[in-house]
């Protein structure tokens, strides 16, 4: 749950009332309002910079306490990096600039700041502001006290951005903050403890999006049983908390347009079932619903900014527990597609949930494409580390669009191979397929399994086990959960599918 954050814009003529933040390019070189403000102090910028070893490099800060003649407690000059650095000027680089500054303000315990951004255009300022909001996020919903040396309002931050062309900047910030809102919702959902967020509670969070104009349907186990969803229901049968299938529809395009479909794995807690996971680190398995969290966050983003497309988000929400009614290794489940699945390992449960969710989505909505997200395999972490999510697809155009969106959003993907060799590894002696293909190529065989439930629909599978939670901190996220997938897919929609 994010603590207090406020951001307003003001004209360049507006008088600052708190700490002033300006930027300098690497050199260091001041320009625009930054140069004017510094000159008011009467200080020698070159001399002060040299004494502080400040060069304007990205991430550096020159902090002047009680600057002369400005009537404010501090003047901070932040490094903007090289003026001709394409990476720093990219949307992801600009968000990093905003996030880095918030990290510096938090470290300096600055609660109010006037930030001058006159040397950036409106879209660039929107990206910087998005980075600020993302970095400020903390999940402190369950904290009841702070330590004695920290004030109770330590996370409050009020920013005023001084800009040129304020109306255009306000519009750009509103657009980017729609994406941010979805990312923060996804982070909140992943952070929630499993005793507080079961399948029913998750479904109710999705239902609340109806206030934004999203149509939300929630299928109960009785309804899923009638549809023949034996794979999804098999995973959830060991839990006292019943599964849900949540369907969210946004109608922002023409009625005749096929929807873009997004499907998420929502295992609210994964013990591994009868194939019990080791105890060490099992608490992290509250995040095994990161795919469903991303889909829910994306739907919020699309509705908030009134995206001009039709979209459907489907999430299978279950808990995988090992009680006397749990499904077993050796069981054979019948999926909604009619295909049968031999269970080799009950900890390979996410693909079973997605199998029925994908088939249902394809069968009911006839979408233009389907993209599923899942914290599916540890194997993808071994393959790619924590900088990229794994991308598997049956459609080159969709894969290329996702790769481009990943670079633009900063939520990167790397396409992995698929093929007959890997597909044969999940053939079963007793059923149509088995739910694991062995140790080698585990992320690939999991993708091959999912491919059997999409037929000829353009499809992509994003294995986000390496990026949804527990990844190293970034300039725009110091929390455990990243909300990975919301920005990526919103960027995809903006760049490639929105008219």
Task: Assess whether 277 carries a catalytic annotation.
Answer: yes
Contact present, 226 and 198 (Cβ < 8 Å):
no
Q: Which of 57, 82, 156, 277 is catalytic?
A: 277
Task: Assess whether 133 carries a catalytic annotation.
Answer: no
Q: Which of 97, 244, 265, 351 is catalytic?
A: 351
C-alpha–C-alpha distance, residues 35 and 260, integer Å: 48
**Lookup: tokens for 63:** 């902090």
Quickly count: other Cβ atoms within 10 Å of residue 478's Cβ.
16
The partner residues of 267 in beta bridges, in order of sequence, read 318
C-alpha–C-alpha distance, residues 455 and 453, integer Å: 6
Catalytic residues: 277, 351
């Amino acid at each position: 749950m994010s603590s207090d954050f406020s951001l307003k814009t003001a004209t360049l003529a507006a008088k600052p009332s708190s700490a002033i933040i300006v930027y300098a390019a690497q050199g260091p070189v001041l320009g625009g309002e930054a140069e004017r403000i510094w000159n008011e102090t009467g200080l020698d910028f070159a001399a002060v910079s040299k004494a502080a070893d400040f060069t304007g490099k990205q991430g550096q800060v020159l902090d002047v306490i009680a600057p002369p003649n400005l009537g404010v407690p501090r003047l901070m000059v932040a490094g903007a990096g090289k003026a001709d650095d394409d990476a720093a000027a990219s949307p992801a680089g600009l968000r990093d600039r905003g996030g880095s500054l918030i990290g510096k303000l938090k470290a300096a315990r600055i609660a109010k700041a006037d930030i001058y951004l006159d040397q950036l255009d409106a879209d660039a300022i929107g990206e910087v502001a998005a980075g600020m909001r993302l970095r400020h996020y903390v999940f402190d919903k369950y904290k009841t006290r702070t330590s004695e040396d920290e004030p109770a309002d330590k996370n409050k931050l009020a920013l005023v951005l001084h800009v040129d062309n304020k109306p255009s900047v306000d519009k750009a910030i509103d657009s980017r903050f729609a994406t941010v809102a979805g990312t923060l919702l996804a982070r909140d959902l992943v952070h929630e403890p499993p005793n507080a967020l079961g399948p029913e509670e998750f479904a109710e969070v999705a239902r609340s999006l109806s206030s934004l104009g999203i149509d939300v349907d929630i299928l109960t186990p009785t309804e899923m049983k009638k549809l023949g969803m034996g794979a999804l229901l098999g995973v959830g049968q060991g839990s006292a908390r019943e599964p849900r299938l949540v369907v969210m529809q946004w109608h922002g395009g023409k009625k005749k347009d096929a929807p873009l479909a997004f499907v998420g794995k929502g295992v609210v807690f994964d013990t591994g079932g009868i194939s019990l996971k080791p105890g060490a680190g099992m608490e992290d398995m509250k995040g095994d619903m990161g795919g469903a969290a991303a889909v829910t966050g994306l739907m919020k983003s699309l509705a908030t900014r009134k995206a001009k497309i039709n979209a459907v988000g489907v999430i299978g929400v279950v808990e995988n527990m090992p009680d006397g009614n749990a499904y077993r290794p050796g069981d054979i489940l019948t999926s909604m597609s009619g295909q049968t699945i031999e269970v080799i390992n009950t900890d390979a449960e996410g693909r079973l949930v997605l199998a029925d969710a994908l088939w249902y989505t394809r069968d009911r909505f006839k979408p233009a494409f389907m993209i599923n997200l899942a914290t599916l395999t540890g194997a993808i972490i071994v393959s790619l580390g924590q900088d990229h999510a794994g991308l598997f697809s049956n459609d080159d155009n969709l894969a290329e669009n996702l790769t481009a969106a990943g670079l633009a959003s900063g939520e990167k993907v790397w396409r992995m191979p698929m093929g007959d060799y890997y597909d044969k590894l999940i053939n079963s002696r007793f059923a149509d397929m088995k739910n694991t293909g062995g140790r080698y190529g585990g992320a690939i065989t999991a993708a091959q399994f999912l491919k059997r439930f999409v037929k000829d629909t353009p499809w992509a599978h994003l294995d986000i086990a390496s990026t949804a939670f527990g990844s190293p901190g970034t300039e725009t996220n110091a929390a455990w959960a990243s909300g990975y997938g919301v920005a990526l897919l919103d960027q995809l929609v903006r760049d490639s599918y929105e008219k």
